[in-house]
Amino acid sequence: MEWDVTSIEEFVQAYEQFNSTDPDMPALVLKVKELLGMYRVVEEEVWYERIKVPLYRFGAPDVSGASVTYSEGDAVRHKVGWKLKVFGIGTGGSREVYVSKSRSFSASGGTCKEVFVPVRMRVARVTTFDGERVVGRGVRAEVAAKKKEEALRGRGCDTLEPSLCRDGPPGRFDEPFDVRLSGDTSGQVHEFDRSWETDVAHEVSVQLQQIADVGSLVEVERIRKLGVSFFLPSGFDYFAHFCHGGLWWERP
C-alpha cells in the first residue's frame, strides 16, 4: 500500500471514527489491519433485522379488577426520552441513538408487559482474508445508517409470561411499593401514582433473530419522566419492588 497525504488522512479519520465507538481490542486490531490492507474483509451475505431493546417491564397483581398503567412524561433534557448506546458486533461500529415521543401502556390483573423500542440493524456474515488465505469467518452487525440527529419514534409492548414480572433481576432493588388494603372491605378500587425524573444507565443483551447465540449489548438510559399508576381493589395487601428495568410483584 502506497501512502500519501490523502491516504494518511483517510486512515486517521477512519481509525478515529471506529475507535470512538469503544471497540474491544481484537476488533480494533482487526480493523487496523483491514485499514492497512493487511487483511481483507469480504461480506458474504448481508441482511437487515430489527432487535427489540427492552425499556421497561411491568405488570398488574393477579387480582380481578387490578390494573397498572405505564406512562412517559416530558423529556428531562435533549428533547428526547431515551438514550441507547448500541454496541457493534465484530468489527461493526457502536452508535448512540435517541428515542422521542411519549407513550403509555396498560396491564390488567395477572398480566406481564414489556415496553420496547425496535432498532434496525445491518448484519453481515464476513470472511477475513490474509492475501488469498482465509484466516477467519464471523458476523458483524451495527445500527443501520441513519441521520445522526434523527431520533427513533417507534415503541412496542409485548405480553410476557406472568412469572417474568415476579422473578426480579439479580441485585439490589431501588424502591419498595407497599400498600395494605386487606382491612378495607368496601370493594372500592384505589389509585396510587409513582413518578421518577432521573435514571441510572443499565445494560441489556438483545439477541439477533437469524443467528443463534449472537447478541448485541445495549446501554439504556432514560432521560424522560416516567410514571406508573396503580388501580388496586380493596381487600388485599400489595407489595412490589421497583428497579432500573421495571416493576416486580411479590404479592398477592
- Map out the domains of the chain as residue ranges: 1-38, 53-116+149-251
Query: Residue 171 has what pLDDT?
Result: 57
Helices 25-35, 5-19: crossing angle, 10 deg rounding: 160
**pLDDT for residue 35:** 66
Please compute the mean of the pLDDT values over residues 93-117 and round it to a whole number.
90
pLDDT at 154: 84
Q: Looking at residue 79, what is its pLDDT?
A: 59
Residue 170 pLDDT: 58
Looking up cell 425524573 gives: 197
Residue 184, CB-side half-sphere exposure with 13 Å CA sphere: 14
Distance of CA 30 to the CA centre of its chain: 27
**Higher confidence at residue 118 or residue 13?**
118
List the grid coordinates of 5.
Answer: 497525504
* Residue 196 clears pLDDT 70, i.e. is over it: yes
Mean pLDDT, range 112-132, rounded to an integer: 90
CA atoms within 13 A on the CB side of 235: 11
Contact 182, 236 (CB under 8 A): yes
Q: What is the mean pLDDT of residues 227-245?
A: 92
* Arithmetic mean of pLDDT, 168-196: 86
Could you tell me what percent of the chain has a pLDDT over 90? 40
The model's pLDDT over 3-48, given as tens digits with 9 standing for 90+, comes to 666 766 776 777 676 666 666 676 676 677 676 666 778 899 999 9
Q: What is the pLDDT of residues 209-221, one digit of tens each?
A: 888 778 888 999 8
**Euclidean distance between CA atoms 180 and 29, whole angstroms:** 58
Q: What is the mean pLDDT of the chain?
A: 84
Residue 150, pLDDT > 90, answer no
pLDDT at site 22 = 64
Q: Which residue has the higher pLDDT, 235 or 137?
A: 235
Question: Within 13 Å, how many C-alpha atoms sit on residue 91's CB side?
Answer: 23
pTM of the model: 0.77
